[in-house]
Amino acid sequence: MDAYLIDAVRTPVGRRGGGLASVHPADLAGHVITAVLERTGVDPAAVDDVVLGCVDTLGPQAGDIARTAWLAAGLPEEVPGVTVDRQCGSSQQALHFAAQAVASGTADLVVAGGVQNMSAVPIGAAMTVGEQFGFRTPFSGSVGWEKRYGGEEISQFRAAELIAHRWNLSRLDMEAYALRSHQRALAAIDGGMFEREIVPLGECVVDEGPRRDTSAARMARLTPLTEGGRVTAATASQISDGASAVLVASGRAVREHGLTPRARVHHLSARGADPVVMLTAPIPATRYALAKAALRIEEIDLFEINEAFASVVLAWLAETGADPERVNVNGGAIALGHPLGATGTKLCATLLNALEQRGGRYGLQVMCEGGGQANVTILERL
């Protein structure tokens, strides 16, 4: 059985402290859920489940934000919701769970998506709050973890540096990539490439992250994130706020509700790699997905790989041989931002629209994730 994408929407991505900073996460998510239902004309009562990704589920993001967001939007109480945490890939995993439910026949209509207000709940808050209970890190005190990995520092910043050194990526290499991300994002905004996927919220009507005044010279003046390192804030994803949602439907739901699918989920999978280097899993995950889908990398028309750091994408490009002109064609998280739990289905919306705009058939989306993991989704445009 197939799983179809009927529509995909997202808020503009707000900068830290920007246009979405004061919006409660339940209202952020409720906004995109309502929008995708209204745009597709689906009766909310016909939805079988709501699956949302979210990281750092504290405070306004606690208590199963998927359920809270649905109810805060005024939608039927009989529809349940569940929140997923696969770190940066949380909403891509939400999409996978939705597609698996639909393809298995256990559901016909599922809203998948994600939300994150990083202005309200700082990145890593769920880890640092544990310090008050005597847990310095999520791993300290685990006999099994320490036996396997010792006292290795587990940090995305260290991981980005390790990748830069392992693949011999210079600071200039990474800054050149980051500048191109901003240039592509600004060209996409100016060309209206995001208009179909964005549902404005209040005065936030366009992505706030891309910097028109950025330059190689400006980037060169920044201090590395670690002493003596190569990675700077300019070559890392931005702290952001936002939400995104996708409506996933079975063939039966398509017929019964008179829906017009925009794409089919051709393949979905997740793989793991070294949790210390952490951010390299997209490389084996991409190879695995292509083999399972019986596709060559040359057959993929467009790629979206999350720009957690420039080093992640550059190492992936070097190992996979993907054409850089097909990768993140409208910019990525370095320019557009990375609202953790929302980014997966945000990238899905962007990939879907880019495939339609360019007449492509297959699109592949992959993200690095905490714990040394990666989700891969291959879409077939219809």
Whether residue 197 contacts residue 223, with contact meaning beta carbons closer than 8 Å, is answered with no
> What is the torsion angle, in degrees rounded to the nearest 10, for the CA atoms of residue 6, residue 7, residue 8 and residue 11?
-150
Helix (H, G, I), strand (E, B) or coil at 195: coil
- Closest among 280, 158, 177, 152 to 228, alpha carbons compared: 158
Catalytic residue among 31, 96, 266, 338: 338
First to last CA, the chain: 16
Active-site pick, 88, 96, 204, 348: 88
Q: Which of 83, 53, 88, 17 is nearest to 236 (CA)?
A: 88
Q: Which two tokens stand for residue 276?
A: 């210390």
Contact, 337 vs 116, CB < 8 A? no
Amino acid at 255: R
| CA dist., res. 2 & res. 275, Å (int) | 33
Backbone φ, ψ for residue 230 (5° rounding): -110, -25
Contact in structure between 332 and 306 (CB atoms under 8 Å): yes
Q: CA geometry: angle at 240 spanning 66 and 329, to 5°?
A: 100
Instruction: Say if residues 365 and 282 touch (Cβ distance below 8 Å).
Output: no
Q: Which of 54, 204, 348, 368 is catalytic?
A: 368
88 is catalytic: yes
Helices (H) and strands (E) in the chain — how many of each? 13, 10
The single-letter code of the amino acid at 309 is F
Residues 54/113, Cβ–Cβ less than 8 Å: no
Told to judge if 54 belongs to the known catalytic residues of this protein, a careful annotator would answer: no
Catalytic residues: 88, 338, 368
